[in-house]
Structure 1
């Protein structure tokens, strides 16, 4: 008997069902069965499910003789289920990687509760992902197992069945079945939660809930089908009436009913115009009929609408709804007008500042589209303070990123008067990307472009030949690059790329990358300090996992099953995981840290500290490999989608033929490389040595000084570069932490 049964009903989903079932079969947990129910689908859904069943014995297909609807199709699946627990997965949704193992572990650690509730994330056709707005209700705090009376706020979660695992004998003992209709989840959800003696939660996204652009969802259909909600709440209250011991839930369910009715009335695109009054009066009748004794309406506008339901005043509710929509539209128009006016005024202010004289002792810095204080600009800033303290240094930072700037650093919020004053009057502008199009290059100003990595992927004009950059305006790009006076380079390879793909009149400075100075100049004490700050145990092997951005991947979802990797590598290994800065936090990484051996360092301000703290780097196509190579520590390439990446983005060399270390194209290979010690073998060291010869030309620990002396102090000759063979990188963690011998 399997641990889990996943019931997947299907109707007109031939475009989605394959991805749905694949997301289950590709899970690392294997003790499950899939009961796929073909609800007499007129398209090819049934045939696709049959294909899966022929290939995998865990898939069984039930073909219904007539279309019975989602609820009764689920009932048919329940009759065929043999697993300890039932999970319901809609056929256009998918499971997140690692979900079933996480669910199974939670069921084990909570001693088989009646119902386990887990989280979900909405996914959109354009790649956006929106976390559940009430994910806070699933926090794993307090007792691991509890009743609904202990956490009644769980009723505020969306009334859905597919974010839960139900113990099958609990369902059969109570005789729960899905009713017919379109809001069939409501009676099932409320009844099972109220009846359950033992509940548990899993604070982890397990289901990706697809928001389809076209049809497929009653909630986005203008139809009288929404009247079905009345029958469903009749069933909920009938269940309460049949179980007097549950009568204390009457008030809570009444409140949910009223909220649900109001939501249907207020949401545009649900009820036909000529049905709204009828729906309201049906809702009002239910409200008065089921009003609990002593019920206290919620405060504010919501309570006012409750009162209107109670007296049956549809004209008042319709007027209130219209007034609210008018207020919202009016507010939006006023807001847009104010924004336009502010922009126009700020533009006039900037033009006035452009007529003022330049300040020869003012430098403006920015990094990564004004995300904070980091990278080459930050290293130059620090060296400028040492060598030319008379130059005032101002950082352009977005308003939402100001708290990421170290204390003592002067900040000008992007878009503010102080920002436009600074960029108009500063003699020096330093950035590792381009300043906005609106920034004017004045005569006498010096723009220093530092870049932020050695290019494996195509850049600049070379991107025109690849699909990932079809939306880029290359003419605007070159206009921004025309402002450059200097372009930094960390190696000869980069110089040749920059000068070809950014064909503008600037001077290339082969100085090395200032941000990498710390990788050469840090001491054993520095390495020990950053490991302590990160909470890393002495003697543990620390692998830094840094995958790059993929244009075909909208959010950061690790391509590795990190919990499994950590388990297989053992207690003495810690994984530091850093997502690319293009990706917004999505909550997934927080879920991976429960073991203490996976640490999310995506928000860590100084990536150089992470380099110093780690024993080896695991990456795919990130420019981090070129920087990390300066430490002369092992690098492992995990390239499971190399063919896709090079086709979509384009690359300058074959990483598979010229890697900086061992290469894995699957998780199993990676585990073998890390577990066997191949990552630090002589063969891997040879790859690394050849890679360093090609790409570590100038990073000798003096790059920032070269830049400051040349750009800010006007010295014509650059400091000589220390040959690669004579450089001494920062000591490895093993060297830094080895005990000092007593004399």
Structure 2
């Protein structure tokens, strides 16, 4: 019999599920089965589960025909489980390294009915924070195996299901089932501890409990949080059925009930201001219904004062108590915040005047047919916004597009394209009045998203290196980045473009905001998909390239750990090795300008070239590293060589979603000699490289069919939802 069945209910977790599954399946302990329960999820969650099941026989997938909620999904998984023990893991959390070994050893040595493990909260914007369990056990230790009657204080263990492993037959014998509705852990988490004859606690962090910025129901305001009262009613009814066996624990259970209800009341992400009086009244009803005759352990401090307010039944008393606590705990920093206002320079004063003008313009009606376009903070005309602009002139001609541009880049705007210089009064007016905002990065933080406005984030690449909040896990990933401000800007997104299902899942986790993903392919690749031989020849001629020359484009990404531009390739040495008929085009990351120069006549710096798509079309092959350029270039089905001499340091300091060595779309080189040999030997054009490229294209480029711009325009400007065939 398998030792451990891991039941993984999954609903709208496409951005987190892979990390969860990897944390389970890559552990050295293998005597497990994973039962993924797709709770009729409308995103790619079910597909991710199926992909893992194909690769690993330990994974079984159950697709539910309708959404039943977390409790019933767990029950469905339990019915499929065959292990001696069962662990219900939430699919947006993940396991610590070595957790399965530690759990298995404790299960085998103690044979408990219930094993509770420690966990760490993992906020989206900070390092994981250990729970208080280990510290509590140090003050009041328990033996390796015990019953609750001997250590009733253990009822304070977080009552959720995912921090406990259950003997499966114990659950069956006691007919333990998770109820429907929110807070479904309440009737189970306490009951199992009361019923168990053998409890064990492993004071080791085994689970990382993700604190999602967006998307978690526990962090969403709404009336569903009133379901907590129903769940506690169910628990007390169950305890009544147990009679004397449960009577001795009712004071501790009662205290736990008030603890949870009051925390929910105090959380504005659960209970809105307009619902607080009603919610408080429900707490008072529960207090009076279940108050033990012999009393209960009233906490000290702030919680004790809140309990007293509940006992009085006065919401006004609770409000005043709460207000005094807030005054005591906060407001001290307001003076410091005011003091931090600095004397403004003349330029800053001018900007403040313009911002005042902007606020006045915000009072005027939206221009329903005005769209502001931007690329890389006004640094030109291109990337995904450009083809959207171009195709919208035909598909949505009623929408007038204007590009914001820095003064020094005006010359890059094509003839006939309307533009506005950034920082001018007209610029502020357009930003205040426009309905549509299209950008491959974010507009400044001071830009207000008005009611009815539509912000389209086109993004600017398929992620290889970690992005957004995932960068917080790596030493240099979020250096000098204010993640909270970044996500406040991302909160304005109405739509976010994704080139494939993989990216959709990554964006959901990396940018946890409330937007609709448009899985369309990247508009900038439409040109690559539709380009003709005549266009390619014309571009090469424009660049001064002869038809008989072999043209290789080198497009590396930025390396944060280096602290500035670092040339990883000796371009002169490479072209010398490849011979006189090879031309190397060098395009540095957009953070740098004119950083790829060389005095060699066969090397051309194209870092400042306006349209990178023209460079792709001109090149016979691509050399890149961790850049999203490989996904775009793969649309052309031409050779790609991945050159990563710093693979280990980059992966450790910046983090990767894709192992570009193992999953490269072609040949891989980690030294300059290997790079030259890949071309000289013909490996770059070989059968193995072609097969790798085809697999890569099938996974990441399947939507790049030349119609991405149309899909985006029909959804954003025309309001259509049906896909384009």
Contact 1:489/1:508 (8 A) holds in 2: yes
Q: Does 1:663 align with 2:668?
A: yes
Tell me which of 565, 568, 584 is aligned to 2:577: 568
The alpha carbon displacement at 1:556 in A equals 3.4
Q: Does 1:535 align with 2:544?
A: yes
**1:176-197 per-position Cα deviation (integer Å, ceiling 9, x unaligned):** xxxxxxxxxxxxxxxxxxxxxx
Tell me which of 515, 524, 544 is aligned to 1:506: 515
Q: Residue 375 of structure 1: SS of its match in structure 2?
A: coil
Mapped partners of 1:561, 1:337: distance in 2? 45
Aligned to 1:601: 606
Q: Does 1:431 align with 2:472?
A: no
Mapped partners of 1:653, 1:606: distance in 2? 26
The alpha carbon displacement at 1:594 in A equals 4.0
Mapped partners of 1:507, 1:427: distance in 2? 17
What count of residue pairs does the alignment treat as equivalent? 382
Aligned to 2:462: 454
Aligned to 2:524: 515
Tell me which of 639, 646, 656 is aligned to 2:651: 646
The alpha carbon displacement at 1:386 in A equals 1.7
Q: Residue 552 of structure 2: SS of its match in structure 1?
A: strand
Aligned to 1:676: 681
Aligned pairs (5 A) from 1:457-468: 457-468=465-476
The alpha carbon displacement at 1:496 in A equals 0.4
**1:289-327 per-position Cα deviation (integer Å, ceiling 9, x unaligned):** xxxxxxxxxxxxxxxxxxxxxxxxxxxxxxxxxxxxxxx
Q: Residue 622 of structure 2: SS of its match in structure 1?
A: strand
Aligned pairs (5 A) from 1:206-355: 337-355=345-363
Mapped partners of 1:458, 1:416: distance in 2? 36
Tell me which of 697, 708, 712 is aligned to 1:692: 697
**1:383-405 per-position Cα deviation (integer Å, ceiling 9, x unaligned):** 01122223211111122222222
- Normalised by the size of structure 2, how large is the TM-score? 0.52
Aligned pairs (5 A) from 1:377-388: 377-388=385-396
**1:103-158 per-position Cα deviation (integer Å, ceiling 9, x unaligned):** xxxxxxxxxxxxxxxxxxxxxxxxxxxxxxxxxxxxxxxxxxxxxxxxxxxxxxxx
Q: Residue 368 of structure 2: SS of its match in structure 1?
A: strand
Mapped partners of 1:585, 1:539: distance in 2? 27
Q: Structure 2: where are the runs of 5+ without partners?
A: 1-342
Contact 1:519/1:612 (8 A) holds in 2: yes
Contact 1:556/1:584 (8 A) holds in 2: no
Contact 2:559/2:566 (8 A) holds in 1: no
Aligned to 2:489: 480
Aligned to 2:364: 356
**1:455-481 per-position Cα deviation (integer Å, ceiling 9, x unaligned):** 000011101111221322111111111
Contact 2:528/2:636 (8 A) holds in 1: yes
Structure 1 runs (4+) greater than 6 angstroms displaced:
none
**1:250-279 per-position Cα deviation (integer Å, ceiling 9, x unaligned):** xxxxxxxxxxxxxxxxxxxxxxxxxxxxxx
Mapped partners of 1:501, 1:619: distance in 2? 23
Q: Structure 1: where are the runs of 5+ without partners?
A: 1-334, 721-743
Q: Does 1:615 align with 2:624?
A: no
Contact 1:555/1:584 (8 A) holds in 2: no
Contact 2:455/2:493 (8 A) holds in 1: yes
Mapped partners of 1:455, 1:538: distance in 2? 34
- Normalised by the size of structure 1, how large is the TM-score? 0.50
The alpha carbon displacement at 1:554 in A equals 4.2
Q: Residue 631 of structure 1: SS of its match in structure 2?
A: coil
Mapped partners of 2:344, 2:357: distance in 1? 20
Contact 1:661/1:684 (8 A) holds in 2: yes
Mapped partners of 1:581, 1:604: distance in 2? 10
Contact 2:593/2:608 (8 A) holds in 1: no
Q: Does 1:701 align with 2:709?
A: no
The alpha carbon displacement at 1:559 in A equals 1.4
Q: Does 1:443 align with 2:447?
A: no
Aligned to 1:634: 639
The alpha carbon displacement at 1:593 in A equals 4.2
